[in-house]
Amino acid sequence: MLSANARREEIYHLAVTTGLASVEELSARFEVTASTIRRDLALLNGQGRLARTYGGAMALGAHPEASLRQRTGEAFEQKHAIARWAASVIRPGENILLDAGSTVGALAHELRGFEKLSVTTPGINTMQELADSEGIEVDCLGGRLRSLSQSFVGPLAEAALERMSFDRVFLGADAVTAEDGICEADHAQTRLKELMARRGNNVYVLADSSKLGMRPFHAWARLALPWTLVTNDGADPEKVQKFRDAGVQVEVAEVSTKASFAMRDRVPGLVAK
């Protein structure tokens, strides 16, 4: 029988080569209990090597960057709980910057109907959400379009930011750690996020609990303190504490099933699981 370390390495190898590892299949393969496999997966997840899924785990780095459309349906309730919290701190008359991404896009949806608000964004989904909101003035950061993220990046967007400042900046993230900040698939994205953060009086990173402490890619945006992490109430307390120990303010949004299902009913193509 393999040692625990050898078994975990083999689990990781299987996840990389097959894309998905099932608890039941792994339990039978290695002749150990399902609870032992779950502990292995939790450890690999904590190391940032695997992402936990329902019934198993998926290897991080084994799959390409997901598109915005794919990400919009993931962690739906959590993202909208985070968006509702973020919307609650915004005041009339403020000038805010909304990053690209699905969670920030959910925040844009929450802002529909706000009055006397100025929004700047590189994200096409935010532009679409707010295009017919009469009380909101929308400025768009131009640049090179990244089709996967449906957002603008590059020198033109960076140059525009140098002439702006904001009351609040809301950033999205593929992942976020207390040590290194925001993790993304593309260096142009991380460069733009760093510049965004520098232009805001108050900076928030909106990241659901599955993104905390993970390292799926190799491009990073380091953020100067102070900044605020906004996550959901399913977050691992130990991971949350790492951010607080690093001097990051953490806000935890409560997931309301009733509210999220009501929101889900207004979004075509999303089906309750």
For 5, which DSSP code? H
CB 186 within 8 Å of CB 157:
no
- Identify the band that residue 14 occupies on the pLDDT scale cut at 50, 70 and 90: confident
Q: What is the pLDDT of residues 75-102, one digit of tens each?
A: 899 999 999 999 999 999 999 999 999 9
pLDDT of residue 52: 61
**CA–CA distance, 81 with 254 (Å, rounded to integer):** 6
172 pLDDT higher than 50 = yes
**CA–CA distance, 73 with 85 (Å, rounded to integer):** 19
* Count of alpha carbons within 13 angstroms of residue 239, beta-carbon side: 25
**CA–CA distance, 26 with 35 (Å, rounded to integer):** 11
Enter the pTM of the model: 0.73
Average pLDDT over every residue of 239-250: 97
197 pLDDT higher than 80 = yes
CB 56 within 8 Å of CB 22:
yes
* Count of alpha carbons within 13 angstroms of residue 9, beta-carbon side: 5
**CA–CA distance, 216 with 184 (Å, rounded to integer):** 8
**CA–CA distance, 173 with 181 (Å, rounded to integer):** 9
Q: What is the pLDDT of residues 112-129, one digit of tens each?
A: 999 999 999 999 999 999
210 pLDDT higher than 70 = yes
pLDDT of residue 225: 96
Quote the mean pLDDT of the chain: 85
- Helix (H) or strand (E) holding 257, with range, is helix 257-264
CB 255 within 8 Å of CB 229:
no
